[in-house]
Amino acid sequence: MQMRRLGATGIDIAPLVLGGNVFGWTIDRETSFAILDAALEAGINAIDTADVYNIFRPGGQGGESETIIGEWMKDRGVRDRMVIITKGGLPMGPGLQGLGRDYLPRACEASLRRLQTDYIDIYMAHQADPATPIEETLETFQTLIDAGKARHAAASNYTAEQLEAALAAAGDGRARYAVLEPGYNLADRADYEGEVERICVENGVGVIPFFALASGFLTGKYRDRDQLKGNAREMLTAKYFTERNLALLAVIDRVAARHDATPAQVSLAWLMTRPSVTAPIVSATSLTQLDDILKSLQLELTAQDLADLEM
């Protein structure tokens, strides 16, 4: 498996990043361990998570995903083989939110405890914090880097304006965002392609897109809204049921048939052809799903395939 350099971090990661959002949400500890084991055995060396995973599920407290990952790394003795990406800043309880100097270091310490590690490889602002000047946020990230608690600062869900302002404010004791985590996939391209992509390319920012399979829509599993009823991802996936996206699924089906592949494999292979993308984030709730996802690494799309997908 050919590794890819993650922006200016000097870190090499596999062409896919394992998403930890499902750990402690739609799958339990035992299944999570099995998927982590299989992903590592296949050569996947980066895991994406966040402190708020999974505060959104009924009864969730937050930190469940980080806790499972930390227990797995300790049990398997593999911390030095993994690139850990986690995020902070979203609400974790009363008074526990934001990217300011008062809270972000506490959020980082809590993540370190749950992950059972001394450092986070890529520590992300989960989203921009309008209540905190970007200069303060970047100074706080730099303090964490100087203390050895984070190796690189990064951002998720930043607009072009927010990212550009953050990059302009870097330096003079302020960290520079080295990685961006945007929502980006075949069915949802507008927010990333254009200014955000241009800024990343011009500034050497690594890109690891989330929702690479459009919350399951691009797997082809859901062809009708009714199939989503009762599904944990119903609210996330329903928005993709548009006339354009249903037509896109038909195109993906045709491309998949040419290669004896699945829609998920085609969708991920397409993302991995994008010059500005380092590696998409992918989640799996079973070993069967993970196997399907990993096969995208061997799928080589033709020029005709790519042209057809540009609908």
pLDDT beyond 70 at 160? yes
- A 10 A CB-CB count for 308 gives 15
β partners of residue 64 = none
C-beta separation of 131 from 98 below 8 A: yes
Number of independent structural domains in the chain: 1
How confident is the model over 50-62, as pLDDT tens digits?
999 988 888 889 9
pLDDT recorded at residue 240:
85
pLDDT beyond 60 at 228? no
How confident is the model over 13-26, as pLDDT tens digits?
999 999 999 999 99
pLDDT recorded at residue 235:
61
pLDDT recorded at residue 222:
67
CATH assignment of the domain containing 231: 3.20.20.100
**What are the φ/ψ torsions at residue 236 (nearest 5 degrees)?**
-80, -35
Q: Which residue numbers are catalytic?
A: 53
pTM: 0.95
pLDDT beyond 90 at 79? yes
Rounded CA-CA distance 226/219 in Å is: 16
Q: What is the mean pLDDT of residues 201-211?
A: 98
Please state, rounded to an integer, the average pLDDT across all residues of the chain. 95
pLDDT class for 234, splitting at 50, 70, 90?
low
pLDDT recorded at residue 226:
58
Q: What is the mean pLDDT of residues 170-180?
A: 98
Range of the domain at 131: 4-309
- Residue that has been written with the tokens 């949400």 in this structure: 25
**What are the φ/ψ torsions at residue 197 (nearest 5 degrees)?**
-60, -45
Q: What is the mean pLDDT of residues 276-291?
A: 97
